[in-house]
Amino acid sequence: MRQKIVAGNWKMNNNAKETKQLIKGIKKSIKKLPLENTRVLVAPTFVNLAKAVKRVKKSNVEVVAQNMHQSKNGAFTGEISADMLQSIGISTVILGHSERRSVFGETAAVLQEKVTAAIQNNMEIIFCFGEMLEDRKSNNHFKVVENQLKNSIFHLEARDWEHVILAYEPVWAIGTGETASPEQAQEMHAFIRNLLKETYNNEVSENTSILYGGSVKPANAKEIFSKPDVDGGLIGGAALKSEDFTAIIKAI
């Protein structure tokens, strides 16, 4: 049975004090929630990861990284390796976010290298992908999503998929206030699940958690999460307020 997951991507937000306060608020709010088969993840900035890991001990919250470099070490100023993340207790990393693709120029080939490095280092991956507005308008969204998966992560072996979480994030709905309708989300998630079945097998398809990301809020979370192929969410702005994030967790 695949897991339900609510992950908060904090992006470039929250200094050390704000990180401490937000984690404290989330821990307190979810302490008594029945979270069987549900994971709660938060992704602070790199400079706050180590302290965040210490602050979530003995709680239901896990800390994950927003990115990592594909090399073990070397002359890559400003970058972080899998080994560095693991040395402070991080075992899960977000890869392929649309902002990494569009703002920082990460290509399908680079993401394939990062995915490979993560798996080789026994890291769990939250792999992001999704179409632009023009792709949706031209009815090309299924093909775009298929190509993103095939070109960056479908080189993995079937056994590797126990370490992969997928996150469908239509770019036109990230931080815009626009949200794919629950029906649109379900349609794409079902397409992805069928693609996994065709590429690998039914076991990979049924056991892989597929999250939706794109302006998920307390007001729309329950309806989105009610769809059979939506296993949770990768939350942006709403993850920065403990009350909103908790309300979204309760919706699952």
Report, as residue numbers or ranges, the catalytic residues: 97, 169
Ramachandran area for residue 89 (φ above 0: left; ψ -120 to 50: alpha; else beta): left
C-alpha 192/C-alpha 47 separation (Å) is 34
C-alpha 114/C-alpha 68 separation (Å) is 7
> Which letter, b or e, does each residue of 124-141 get, where b requires 16 or more Cβ atoms within 10 Å of its Cβ?
bbbbbbbbbeebbeeeeb
Q: Phi/psi at 102 (nearest 5 deg)? A: -80, -40
115 and 157 Cβ atoms separated by less than 8 Å: no
Strand order in the sheet with 4-9: 61-63, 38-43, 4-9, 232-235, 210-212, 164-168, 124-129, 92-95
* 3-state DSSP assignment of residue 216: coil
C-alpha 196/C-alpha 84 separation (Å) is 31
* 3-state DSSP assignment of residue 27: helix
C-alpha 52/C-alpha 42 separation (Å) is 9
Amino acid at 20: K
